[in-house]
């Protein structure tokens, strides 16, 4: 059971510690039946929420929501396949516009506490899979125009950080958002290969790679209850599961061995 600090019950059973950073450890079963542990961290000062977990295939997924800039950064660290000539890992970052109401705020997240940390969590809502055609590359060293968190999170993906034209248009229209000219200096159009990596013949041919990942459990909204006097108060959270599929340019099929 998850509640927030506006719930009377919470005040009776939990000792509330005020902190700038609050971390939750969540046990979630994926569609294959494996149990994964998510770490969710809320930073009220930065107004961010970070969710991280390791998939059963070893891929490390980090999702950061920057509420101020309305930016979602999803970082994937994929381990190399040694038997196929990949001795190291590779890192990709996918940067997209996000609506604030898709997640609970960092302040609300920071006030969540769990009574039974070992419980296996099941989301209430299965959201529709979202498809992302990442047609632009981001210059990580100048990416503060989009979000100041990109440079640190995506430092190892200097040539593999992607966004979309539609996201750029969303950011420049935000009240107080980045200047269009400055933002266009940060991004450039990615090459558009003739084939997907699944179709590409040679291992060194450029192609369009696809990577799918699912966030198995995350707080996506607040629940409100009504008191006897008719007033409403926050009494819990709604939880969701959502999958994303990213399509993006790679300079050689060797960087996309999973999409075969």
pLDDT at 31 over 80: no
Q: Is it the case that residue 166 has pLDDT exceeding 80?
A: yes
Per the model's pLDDT, the better-predicted residue between 172 and 87 turns out to be 172
Residues whose CB falls within 8 Å of the CB of residue 234, separated by 6 or more in sequence, listed in order: 4, 6, 7, 108, 222, 223, 224, 225
Q: Residue 40 and residue 54: Cα distance in Å, rounded?
A: 13
Domain ranges of the chain: 2-122+134-191
Q: What whole-number distance in Å separates Cα of residue 131 and Cα of residue 20?
A: 34
Q: Please, what is the average pLDDT of the chain?
A: 87
pLDDT (average), residues 5-10: 34
Please give the pLDDT value at position 178.
85
Place of tokens 């061995």: 257
201 Cβ neighbours under 8 A, 6+ residues apart? none
Across 17-31, 164-178, 198-212, least confident range? 17-31
The length of the chain in residues reads 260
> Cα separation of 196 and 199, whole Å?
5
**Per-residue pLDDT at 1 exceeds 70:** no
Is residue 72 within 8 Å of residue 150, measured between CB atoms?
no
Measured between alpha carbons, how far is 44 from 47 in angstroms, rounded to an integer? 5
Give the rounded distance of the alpha carbon of 227 from its chain centre: 35
203: which DSSP letter? T
Q: Which token pair is 51?
A: 């969710």
Instruction: Give the model confidence (pLDDT) of 100-149 as tens digits.
Output: 888 999 998 988 877 777 889 889 999 999 999 999 999 999 999 999 99
SS3 at position 106? helix
Q: How many CA atoms lie within 13 A of 256 on its CB side?
A: 29
CA distance 111 to 108: 5
Round to whole Å and give the CA distance between 175 and 82. 48
Predicted confidence (pLDDT) per residue in 66-99, tens digit: 999 999 999 999 997 776 666 689 999 999 999 9
What's the pLDDT band for 49 if we cut at 50, 70, 90? very high
Residue found under tokens 């299965």: 126
pLDDT, one tens digit per residue, over 226-257 is 888 888 887 888 999 999 999 999 999 999 98
pLDDT of residue 44: 94
State the pLDDT at residue 10: 31
4 confidence band (pLDDT: 50, 70, 90)? very low
Helix extents (H) in the chain? 8-13, 106-110, 150-153, 165-172, 180-184
Does residue 174 surpass a pLDDT of 60?
A: yes
Please tell me the predicted confidence (pLDDT) of residue 83. 67
pLDDT at residue 3, rounded to an integer = 40
C-beta of residue 214 within 8 angstroms of C-beta of residue 241: yes
C-beta of residue 222 within 8 angstroms of C-beta of residue 237: yes
Tokens describing residue 77: 């660290």
Tell me if the pTM is above 0.95. Answer: no
Contacts with 259 (C-beta within 8 Å, 6 or more apart), sequence order: 196, 197, 198, 209, 210, 211
């Amino acid at each position: 059971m998850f509640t927030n600090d506006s719930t009377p019950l919470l005040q009776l059973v939990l000792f509330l510690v005020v902190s700038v950073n609050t971390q939750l450890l969540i046990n979630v079963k994926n569609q294959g039946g494996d149990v994964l542990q998510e770490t969710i961290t809320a930073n009220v000062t930065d107004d961010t929420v970070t969710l991280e977990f390791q998939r059963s295939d070893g891929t490390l997924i980090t999702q950061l929501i920057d509420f101020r800039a309305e930016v979602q950064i999803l970082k994937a660290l994929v381990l190399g396949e040694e038997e196929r000539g990949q001795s190291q890992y590779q890192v990709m970052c996918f940067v997209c516009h996000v609506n604030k109401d898709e997640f609970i705020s960092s302040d609300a997240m920071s006030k969540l506490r769990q009574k039974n940390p070992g419980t296996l969590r099941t989301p209430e809502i299965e959201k529709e899979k979202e498809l992302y055609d990442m047609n632009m590359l981001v210059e990580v060293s100048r990416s503060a125009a989009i979000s100041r968190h990109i440079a640190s999170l995506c430092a190892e993906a200097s040539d593999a950080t992607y966004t979309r034209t539609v996201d750029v248009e969303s950011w420049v229209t935000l009240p107080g958002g980045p200047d269009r000219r400055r933002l266009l200096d940060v991004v450039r159009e990615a090459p558009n290969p003739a084939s997907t990596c699944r179709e590409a013949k040679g291992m060194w041919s450029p192609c369009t790679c696809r990577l799918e990942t699912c966030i198995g459990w995350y707080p996506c909204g607040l629940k409100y209850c009504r008191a006897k006097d008719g007033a409403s108060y926050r009494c819990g959270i709604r939880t969701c599961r959502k999958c994303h599929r990213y399509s993006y340019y790679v300079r050689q099929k060797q960087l996309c061995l999973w999409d075969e």
